[in-house]
Amino acid sequence: MTGYEVETAVRYGAAITVVVFRNGLHGTIAMHQKQALGRTAGVEIGEVDLAGYARSLGAEGQTVRDPDELAPALEAAAASDTVTLLDVVTDPDIISPSTTLSEIIGESP
């Protein structure tokens, strides 16, 4: 995905919400590197303003850094009549609510 899907949705007048969970890491690649090599290289993603990028494509954009902000952001997006991108910043060590990357690759926390 390149992000231009957002521009296409705007152009066609879609009223959709795009939620990006951004942890600053290519997590699956990091997991495989850690398993195979014992280390990672080139998997970190720098700070990117995805909400600003969405706005540059004609959509609404909002960055969510606090979990308490997520529900109100989703409600506002659902009420919008255009494309809304929510850039949800997450912890790179959290894979799911109950599993960490370390647990997946068999390391002790």
Q: What is the pLDDT of residue 7?
A: 97
pLDDT of residue 106: 62
- Residue 52, classed as helix, strand or coil, is helix
pTM: 0.78
96 within domain boundaries = yes
Angstrom distance (rounded) from CA 28 to CA 66: 24
Q: Are 91 and 99 in contact (CB under 8 A)?
A: no
pLDDT of residue 81: 97
Residue 55 has pLDDT above 80, yes or no: yes
Average pLDDT value over all residues in the chain: 88
Coil, strand or helix at 46: coil
Q: For position 25, which CATH number holds?
A: 3.40.50.970
Q: Structural domain tally of the chain?
A: 1
Per the structure, the complete domain to which residue 78 belongs is given by: 15-104
Q: Is residue 9 part of a domain?
A: no
The reply to whether 50 falls in a domain is yes
3-state SS assignment for residue 45: coil
With respect to residue 7, please indicate whether it lies within any of the assigned structural domains: no
Q: Which two tokens stand for residue 24?
A: 């600053």
pLDDT in tens, 6-53: 999 999 999 999 999 888 888 778 888 888 999 989 988 889 999 999
pLDDT at residue 80 tops 70: yes
Q: What are the φ/ψ torsions at residue 89 (nearest 5 degrees)?
A: -80, 125
Q: What's the Rg (C-alpha) of the chain?
A: 16
